[in-house]
Structure 1
């Protein structure tokens, strides 16, 4: 009797361990624009097995550019892509059968940093300065140009030195400029060397649809729902267990100083760069796309009701 009981217990344990893998009968590829700390919710979902628990086996690919990632979805070589929603809005305005199915980054994750001795009281103190910024087109530099315009200036009022995205700390820390516009973890790499933060766009602009998951309109509904369920579970986990989110970030970026990784994640969480849920509000989408409209990259706002597939989002939130 005891032997039978032990055998039954072992079988039950084996079945319990096998359940997540067995449940993952759906498969999908997500093409991310870059390997970016902004995309931490995706990495948490992957590394913590949350997609498998949602019943989907997800493969991550890195495209190297937002347009390439979205092209993978349009051509059906990937089911999902991760990048700024403006790329999807532009493609949709030209007839591509794509839209947004959930949120990943809901804050304008860009900061202006400066040397510790740089005097700064208002935006016009930047006039005449050399500014290190990412090579266009990129949202960081686009937002900086928007910031200048909002404060009565143009790009001609500063000297913008454009560099490859992610390399901004190099010339900045080398003293080639006293000011830089950066994403994370570049910002906290600079802060660790004594630089100071002048302006944080997450706080300046509030809710801002910065990066989202795109899919074709004819995406398999069950596959899309399982994917959004996994991401929603990741966002819930990040909110309740910051230490686990930091641990995943350190795993995904092993060549970075762990202290910098931790500082960057904590900053983005405290400034609400990562959303609490997979939802995208109409206001957040409008603010995000208004930047591209102001720069002439997008003609008009898309119809929110058809551009954002809220049914997937609502079911994912209800289930988590």
Structure 2
């Protein structure tokens, strides 16, 4: 006989109860899944690694998967296509994409200093930027901020790109030709900088001190990102930044764990240099001035037609909420 509706309902009731029970206990078993795509595995992104390693994201109830895209535009593309909710890289990539109509902006600070330095051979007589005229210089392959900043520096000091002989190499490989004597000057990021310093090279100019607050790397998201999720990510990053300020030695330990193939002494020197020179931010906040200075380089090089509109480009609602709570 065909079962009546009441008897069918009775048979389905236990299954419904199990389903509802599962919904009830799921949040306690695991946090909400979040994918964050980083451009590279970079010492600059140490606040992100601290947030993962010290459980800051877990405290916010999210389970973060770190993906490494290999390039900033690839990381941002993952956000645009929704294969990742957030990406970490220079905000200029987000500004350029937004200027072309992509629905993206930035939600938190990661690096707040122009983390680029100029190093020279120990016997190089450096007095000022004019000393670089006619020199062979090793720098990162464009487009990259290190070389962009260097070209801007030349222009600001009355020099042209043709006044120097730049050898562009893959980012991270600058120490090789520099230490081999193929050039007496190199434009570098960390940890490459402290790798060559350990070999006797000297630092003659630091862009962090030259420019001050500079929006160098940030967390990007789509404009339609889940606001609750975004707030949790920003909160986690803020906790990580505060941890780094209060626990520099533990921060160094985390960095050594993240970069096991590097000389531990180099990692320690690099992290301490970036803390001392305020490369790592004091909070997730991004000031209008820091964004303006950071984007000036891209405008000067023609990558951006104009500065992004701070009011719509920086999602201050997330920043302000986490700062008021922390």
TM category, shorter: over 0.9
What is the root-mean-square deviation of aligned Cα atoms in Å?
Answer: 1.1
**SS in structure 2 of the partner of residue 27 of structure 1:** strand
Q: Establish whether residue 78 from structure 1 lines up as the match of residue 77 from structure 2.
A: no
Tell me the residue number matched to 1:237. Answer: 243
Q: 2:297 aligns with which of 291, 296, 307?
A: 291
Contact 1:23–1:52, Cα closer than 8 Å, also in 2: no
Q: Matched residues in 1 for 2:114 and 2:175: separation?
A: 19
Contact 1:80–1:214, Cα closer than 8 Å, also in 2: yes
Q: Matched residues in 2 for 1:318 and 1:52: separation?
A: 20
After superposition, give the CA deviation of every residue in 1:277-302 in whole Å (9 maximum; x if it has no partner). Answer: 00000000000001000000000011
Tell me the residue number matched to 2:162. Answer: 156
* Runs ≥4 residues deviating over 6 A: none
After superposition, give the CA deviation of every residue in 1:10-55 in whole Å (9 maximum; x if it has no partner). Answer: xxxxxxxxxxx83853221000000000000000000111100111
Tell me the residue number matched to 2:264. Answer: 258
Q: Establish whether residue 129 from structure 1 lines up as the match of residue 135 from structure 2.
A: yes
Tell me the residue number matched to 1:36. Answer: 42
**SS in structure 2 of the partner of residue 199 of structure 1:** strand
Q: Establish whether residue 57 from structure 1 lines up as the match of residue 63 from structure 2.
A: yes
Rg: which structure is higher?
2
Tell me the residue number matched to 2:18. Answer: none
Q: Matched residues in 1 for 2:325 and 2:235: separation?
A: 8
Deviation at 1:231, TM superposition (A): 0.3
Q: Matched residues in 2 for 1:22 and 1:290: separation?
A: 46
Q: Establish whether residue 171 from structure 1 lines up as the match of residue 177 from structure 2.
A: yes
Equivalent residues in 2 for 1:221-232, closer than 5 Å: 221-232=227-238
Tell me the residue number matched to 1:47. Answer: 53
Tell me the residue number matched to 2:148. Answer: 142
Q: 1:183 aligns with which of 178, 184, 189?
A: 189
Tell me the residue number matched to 1:310. Answer: 316
Change (3 A) 1:149 1:57: same
Tell me the residue number matched to 1:111. Answer: 117
Deviation at 1:206, TM superposition (A): 0.5
Question: Is the deviation greater in 179-188 or in 26-35?
Answer: 26-35
Q: 2:307 aligns with which of 276, 282, 301?
A: 301
Contact 1:24–1:53, Cα closer than 8 Å, also in 2: no
Q: Matched residues in 2 for 1:261 and 1:127: separation?
A: 32
Q: Which runs of 5+ in 2 are unaligned?
A: 1-26
Q: Establish whether residue 280 from structure 1 lines up as the match of residue 286 from structure 2.
A: yes
Q: Which runs of 5+ in 1 are unaligned?
A: 1-20
After superposition, give the CA deviation of every residue in 1:157-210 in whole Å (9 maximum; x if it has no partner). Answer: 000000000000000001010000000000000000000001000000100000
Change (3 A) 1:317 1:130: same
